[in-house]
Amino acid sequence: MVEGRGEFEWQMTASLIALHINMNRKKGAKAVKPNDFNPFSFEQAKHTPTITGKAAWDMFRQAFDPAKK
């Protein structure tokens, strides 16, 4: 019951944020959707960036490179 109330409140808040941004955006700018700001949105999980194996190894090497210490 409490989770449902939280999701409902976040949906309303996200809608207001999206409305505010869309009303004040520049001409030709992409419109935003309320789900872009809703932490309970399932669509938000699709926008999670992924790191490929090669990029992960490159970042690992940069972080633990003994020459930099």
* pLDDT tens, residue by residue, 22-45: 999 988 889 999 988 888 877 655
Q: Please, what is the average pLDDT of the chain?
A: 82
What is residue 29's DSSP assignment?
P
Query: Model confidence over 4-28: pLDDT tens digits?
Result: 888 889 899 999 999 999 999 988 8
For the chain, give me the number of helices (H) and strands (E)?
A: 2, 0
| pLDDT of the residue at 12 | 93
Residue extents of the structural domains in the chain: 2-68
Quick one: CA dihedral 39, 41, 45, 46, positive or negative? negative
pLDDT above 90: residue 2: no
Give the predicted TM-score (pTM) of the model: 0.58
Q: Which residue has the tokens 């490929």?
A: 52
